[in-house]
Homo-oligomer: A and B are copies of this chain.
Amino acid sequence: MQSFKSGELVLDAGATILVEGTNSPHLYTLLSGWAIKHKSLEDGLRQVLNFALPGDLLGLQASISDTMHHTVEALTGVVLCVFPREKLWTLYESHQGLAFDITWLAAREETILGDYLVTVGQRRATERVAFVLLHLFQRARQVGLVRNNKVTFPFTQEHLADTIGFSLVHTNKTLKQLRRTGCFKWVGTNFELTDEQKLGALAGEPSPIGGVRPLV
């Protein structure tokens, strides 16, 4: 799989990695740093679709439809592993493991977007905020970015607002309310989760016990 790699790309925070409506000759894997995927509307509104953390794939859409349907922007300095897009499908023939991995990543992305859609479509303000904070904390933990229940969140309240579909002002007020529950501390870029279970409950998660019963 390393043979497929054509180089590394290092970018500063704020750099645009891929642009909606354009295509790209490259497919990227995020090696380090955070990025954000979003779509912008003419009237200045913006919807964040997802965050990208180390290990995530960027630019698959362009490989398939010749056009990106969202923009990807670096939230921190990032290191990207660069793959030549045109080689992808020939690689599918020689490396089935790669085909599996990419399918897996695409399906995972679909799952996350589905969760976000439920959150934005059905949840109340506090649930939305709690859900996204918890989700990002857990993803950060999966890739080893959490130490002592602390992690650096390199995004602003405005990013959060654009993720959950609320105005910045209302997001801020909801956050104030959530802080009073005491399950987490978020000051500047430092986020500390002190009561994961409680935040999960506030996010409206089904309780971890009592899973779903299979159909007979």
Contact = CB atoms under 8 A, between A and B. Distances in A.
Contacts of A106: 103, 106-107, 110
A109 B111 contact: no
Interface string A22-52: 1100000000000000010110011101000
B100 A16 contact: no
B103 A64 contact: yes
B117 A116 contact: yes
A215 interface: yes
Interface stretch (A134-142, A144-152, A204-212): A204-212
Contacts of A64: 103-104, 107-108
Interface of A: 16, 19-23, 39, 41-42, 45-47, 49, 60-61, 63-65, 69-70, 89, 92-93, 96, 99-100, 102-104, 106-111, 113-118, 120-122, 162, 164-165, 204, 206, 211-215
Nearest to A63: B107
A121 B65 contact: no
Contact of A99 (B46, B96, B116, B121): B96
This chain: how many copies in the complex? 2
Binding site secondary structure of chain A: helix
Nearest to A164: B121
